[in-house]
Amino acid sequence: MDALDFLKNELNHRLDKQWKIFSWVSTVLIGISGGMITLEAKKDKAFDINAPERLVLSAIIATLAFYAITWVNQNIRIEEILRKELASKLDLPKNIPLSPGVMNIGYSLALLILAIAAVISVWIKYPWC
């Protein structure tokens, strides 16, 4: 395997890793939100969650989101380095971008929004319940 193949494989690995992190964490956060809505909607309230439990759950959500966003951003930084290295190995002109550019809502922002929604779902009292 030459250097070019290594860079391409590493770039693909980083892109796949970003997607897997986002996919896994977003699924967990959406599951938490759905679970909390379901628990609040139960009429018998046999499984009532008090403030201390809600606080712990909020801390878990915040920790998970912080770690995932940090991990995604680290992979994005490495991706940018790999793209620059690929461009130099391919001897591309500077005006041809190898990167898709900045997205309006990337993985990090989407994870932050989902984490905020999950924390809100932990604390909100639903009026129809």
Percentage above 90 pLDDT, the chain: 50
Exposure string over 86-125, b if 16+ CB within 10 A, otherwise e: bbeeeeeeeeeeeeeeeeeeebbebbeebbeebbebbeee
Q: What's the predicted TM-score (pTM) here?
A: 0.83
128 in any annotated domain: no
The letter for the amino acid at 14 is R
Q: Tens place of pLDDT for every residue, the chain, 129 residues?
A: 788 888 889 989 998 999 999 999 999 999 999 999 888 887 676 677 889 999 999 999 999 999 999 999 999 899 888 888 888 888 766 655 555 555 557 899 999 999 999 999 999 876 665
Our count of domains for the chain comes to 1
55 in any annotated domain: yes
d(CA 122, CA 44): 18
Residue 112 belongs to what domain range? 3-123
**Hey, CA dihedral for 38, 39, 40, 45, is it positive or negative?**
positive
Reduced to 3 states, what is the DSSP secondary structure of residue 24? Answer: helix
